[in-house]
Amino acid sequence: MRTSLLQGWKVRTGLGVIGFFVLLALAGPWLTASVPGLDPRANDLTAIGLPPSAEHWLGTTQFGQDVLAQTIEGARGSLFVGFLSAVIGTALAILVGLPAGYFGGRTDAWLNFLSNLFIVMPVLPLILIVAGYMQGTGLWVIALIIGFFGWSGGARTIRAQAMSVSNRDFVLAMRTLGEPHRRLLFHEVLPHLTGWIAAMFLQGVIGGVMAEAGLAFLGISDSGAISWGTMIQAAQQQSAVLRGMWWWFVPPGLCIALVATAATLVNFGVDELANPKLRTVRQRTRRPRGSEAR
Amino acid sequence: MTATTPVLSAVDVTKHFTVRSAVGARSVVRAVEGASLDLHRGRVVALVGESGSGKTTLARVLAGFYAPTSGEVALEGVPVRQRRGRVERGYHKDVQIVFQDPFGSLNPLHRVRHNLERPLRLHHGVRGRAELDRRVRELLERVALTPAEQYADKFPHELSGGQRQRVVIARALAVEPKVLLGDEPVSMLDVSIRLEMLNLLDRLRAEDGLALLYITHDIAGARYLCDEVVVMYAGEMVEGGPKEQVIADPLHPYTRLLVDSSPDPGRGARDRERLFDADADGLGEPPSLIDPPSGCRFHPRCPFAMDVCRTQAPPRTDLADGRWTRCWLHHPTQETE
Amino acid sequence: MSTQTAHDTRPAARAASGDVLHVTGLTVEYGTDGDPVRACTDVTFTLRRGEILGVAGESGSGKSTLITALTRLQRPPAATTAGSIVFHPRDGGPAVDLVTASPRTLRALRWTSLSIVLQSAMDALNPVMRLGAQFADVLRTHDRTLDRKAAWARAAELLTTVGISGDRVRSYPHELSGGMRQRAGIALALACGPELVVMDEPTTAVDVVMQRQILAQVLRLRRTLGFAVVFVTHDLSLLLELADRIAIMYAGRIVELGTAQELYDAPRHPYTRGLRDSFPPLRAPLWRLTGIPGTPPDLRRPPSGCPFHPRCPQRFAGCDTHLPVLGEAGGAHLVACRLDDGDAAATGTERTTDGGDR
């Protein structure tokens, strides 16, 4: 299964791009610290609002900060929020959707009510209010808020899929053998949802990165932390567009678009795995050679 | 326990389902009505009927998936208690079910070994690699999947339909049940391997003294395997008794229609025109179970329908040789009149 | 030629003369990246006018592939790679090779000369159209002069022939039961008076009682309309009662072809015998049957030699290397088994008695 996932160019490209940004985020602090002139927080008063040059590859901001250094540091912030919110959102979606679909009946009615509630809730104003109450909105808090408000759609998907898998004969058969519900849920039903969960997670990463940028743009962000969102927000505040300082907001914007595209590409591949139709075609064309090798 | 106590019995079991249509109208599907059935040690009962006759519903009631609307299921004479539609866990130590679709009843993500080890761990507390391996090998050998080592580590998709169904049976046997319910266990298998499966079930009945319920629409196959036949029509049991008598000389007009309609290779191609000489034309189809006909449910299709058939459901009439039927034609009052 | 006169004036006697279909060396492959799987290999048979030819086989025997090839309904990756399917029209027109026929020719043949009833015919009806409208569509495609009213009247008439009351033309498919829809599907297939009807397990989805009713109607209609039928099913016991001749398929090849009587009384191929003995009798005394041990072959890796040899109880030296071809075994009875090669005559007689003493 893993090998066939890696076969398509889409998945490879997507994973490549995401991998690049993850590496960038991980190596960011070391990179910015070891390369002179790449300190994202240093204000170089001699270089204010300069276009890209040999010294500052991506130019500098109105405050004399290096845009490249900020973009690297921003990857760390944005991806941190993206991944953490996706983890939280996916976990909540599974916790609510899986039992709802598996048990059905009253359990389903309550859990489904809960996810419907979160779907119709006006999330953005709520986030604004919650974030306003939270003192010192660090990236942690932002990720928590995004994850907490963004699980409901996924829960509906998981519920529908869990319901269809739970009704298959093998679940009934294993129940008849005396398997406890816990094992049926996590050993029989959940593994069949891997594809959907993976897709949901990637969707969550995109959503998280975007939501963080959106919130930062609205002014809800950690003033100390640097993310692609805060970069764009700073550029907007200093009227970078009007001043023609494109190098300030294009790199972070492009990075967000790249990460989103890459995650979508990977999703295509995951979709092929989750979608039985696409999968059988793949297997049928592959099996003869594979089985000979075995 | 006396020798005559059935291992599993259904006593006057009725199962209704309430369905709601999109506009909220409720209707009741009368899937099984007043069904009684006894399964004895080492004996095979065939439950024969068309699709929609309620035979699968009855099997699922017996398997403890549904609570009966009325009537009861008794395991060795003791009524089975159900809580919120689910039977107690111990029940499945004695009663196991084999489904029709061997492709659907094995989780595609688990190896054969996993399927057999779980019941061993759950019901017999088997621990330890060596002991598990030995028991798994034994089970596979009993369902003739040999050499066992070759099959234990396979995934379901690497097996043929017949091999999968053998794994399903082995999995049920791992529990060491007293009763095995087979819900059309061979109808999705290739013709040429069905008999091997029937022979396997027959051997298990003989060796282990399993009580077997064999649900099928294939009356010839039922005759091959079972001791006793029970015929269902539109949710009701219409006739039952020793297989040879029931098939050779059906009492109920529906049983006769069913037997006459079934292909019989022994009949050969000699008189085709007569075989398909259809006055079968106007015989209609099974009724809706939401609004079944009053009286005997078969009366709209019955060539012998009388006035009483239209108004009153026929009671069970017991006849000689353990045969019985629900038909006014054979009711004592009819013969005296 | 109006459809109405087409079947009214047809002399029933003419239906007996001549052949309607010659299939020669038909080979169908599922191409998968230069590693093709042969689902049908060298299939050759003749269909006589007005005859019911049964095709029996298990899963993977290639019977469904044969159907889609015959009707040119196959879709990639399946492709006919060799052979011909020559159709001889009743009116003496030029013979048509269905393998090479253009889409336009095929369109002209469909419904009027060649029609198909599928296992899922009951689902083949359009759920949002009244039955009459669907019949009218088919009828008017092939006879433009027919007006709406006449077409609906004809539709009602056709439904009556399969035992559905004529006023049902105004019904939607979901208002009919499964058995009725299946019969409506058969009526639709017969709407334009075809010479050849291909039926792919038309009664597997219905119950035995309904099955007998449907087949009784098919037989009766064949008697009056004189069409030929290729009837594909896995149920040999049904074919033995229904078909004139039966072709047994195994691993994509016809292994035996003969009349129903011959195949039942004296099957020559061990597979045919095994298949025949896989159906327990309904009335005859019971004895222990064994079916056929083993599993049907994987067409991706067909066995060498005779494809049946791994399961054959009578295999002998050479079966695993020599591929037997379909040859005569007395009269029109054809069999592909090395037991029936000329020099094995002694074994042959022995086996015939062996088959007859049951």
- Look at residue A137 in the predicted model and tell me its pLDDT: 65
Interface check B337 vs C, CB under 8 A? no
Interval B87-105: pLDDT, tens: 777 888 899 999 988 888 9
Choose the closest CB to B99 out of A169, A177, A191: A169
Interval A132-170: pLDDT, tens: 777 666 788 888 888 988 888 889 999 999 999 998 899
- Look at residue A274 in the predicted model and tell me its pLDDT: 60
Comparing alpha-carbon positions, the chain A residue that sits nearest to B174 is A177
Interval B111-133: pLDDT, tens: 999 999 999 998 888 888 899 99
Q: What percent of chain C has pLDDT over 90?
A: 9
Over residues C27-44, the mean pLDDT reads: 82
- Look at residue A58 in the predicted model and tell me its pLDDT: 73
Are the C-beta atoms of residues C139 and C154 closer than 8 Å to each other? yes
Interval B297-324: pLDDT, tens: 898 888 888 888 888 889 999 988 889 9
- Look at residue C39 in the predicted model and tell me its pLDDT: 87
The secondary structure of residue C266, as a DSSP letter, is: -
- Look at residue A99 in the predicted model and tell me its pLDDT: 93
Tell me which chain B residues have a C-beta less than 8 angstroms from the C-beta of A173.
Answer: 97, 99, 105-106, 168, 171
Interval A1-32: pLDDT, tens: 444 666 677 888 888 898 898 888 888 777 77
Tell me which chain C residues have a C-beta less than 8 angstroms from the C-beta of A284.
Answer: 32
Taking all residues of chain B, what is their mean pLDDT, rounded to a whole number? 86
Evaluate if residue A43 carries a pLDDT over 80. Answer: no
Nearest-Cα distance to chain B for C234, in Å, is 7
Q: How many CB atoms lie within 10 A of CB A239?
A: 10
Cβ contact, residue pair A179, B104, below 8 Å: no
pLDDT-based confidence at residue C219 (cuts at 50, 70, 90): confident
Q: Which residue has the higher pLDDT, C231 or B336?
A: C231
Tell me the CA distances in angstroms from B31 to B22, B66, B283, C207, C210, one per residue in order: 21, 12, 22, 18, 21
Place of tokens 């403890």: B64
Are the C-beta atoms of residues A165 and A189 closer than 8 Å to each other? yes
Q: Which residue has the higher pLDDT, B272 or C331?
A: C331
Which architecture characterizes domain A80-283 according to CATH? Orthogonal Bundle (1.10)
Cβ contact, residue pair C35, A289, below 8 Å: yes
ipTM: 0.83
Tell me the CA distances in angstroms from A256 to A52, A66, A231, A260, C38, one per residue in order: 20, 19, 12, 6, 50
- Look at residue C357 in the predicted model and tell me its pLDDT: 36
Evaluate if residue A285 carries a pLDDT over 50. Answer: no
Cβ contact, residue pair C234, B258, below 8 Å: no
Over residues C55-67, the mean pLDDT reads: 87
The full length of chain B comes to: 337
Nearest-Cα distance to chain A for B104, in Å, is 5
Evaluate if residue A279 carries a pLDDT over 70. Answer: no
Over residues B160-179, the mean pLDDT reads: 91
Tell me which chain A residues have a C-beta less than 8 angstroms from the C-beta of C300.
Answer: 287-288
Interval A218-235: pLDDT, tens: 877 777 778 888 888 888
Rounded to whole angstroms, how far apart are CA atoms C163 and C297? 42
- Look at residue A282 in the predicted model and tell me its pLDDT: 41
User: What token pair was written down for B226?
Assistant: 């079972």
Evaluate if residue C324 carries a pLDDT over 80. Answer: yes
Tell me which chain B residues have a C-beta less than 8 angstroms from the C-beta of C177.
Answer: 285
Nearest-Cα distance to chain C for A285, in Å, is 6
Counting Cβ atoms within 10 Å, is residue C203 exposed (0-12), middle (13-18) or buried (19+)? buried
Are the C-beta atoms of residues B171 and B115 closer than 8 Å to each other? yes
Rounded to whole angstroms, how far apart are CA atoms A250 and A228? 10
- Look at residue A281 in the predicted model and tell me its pLDDT: 42
Domain boundaries, chain A: 80-283
pLDDT-based confidence at residue B180 (cuts at 50, 70, 90): very high
Evaluate if residue C14 carries a pLDDT over 60. Answer: no
Interval C65-117: pLDDT, tens: 888 888 888 877 788 888 889 988 877 777 888 888 888 888 888 888 888 88
User: What token pair was written down for C269?
Assistant: 């191929």
Which DSSP helix (H) or strand (E) runs through B28? strand B26-39
Rounded to whole angstroms, how far apart are CA atoms B13 and C29? 53
Interval A181-212: pLDDT, tens: 899 999 999 998 888 888 889 889 988 988 88
- Look at residue C76 in the predicted model and tell me its pLDDT: 76
Nearest-Cα distance to chain A for C301, in Å, is 9
Choose the closest CB to C279 out of B265, B273, B281: B265
Interval C241-295: pLDDT, tens: 888 899 999 988 999 999 888 888 888 899 999 998 888 888 888 888 888 888 8
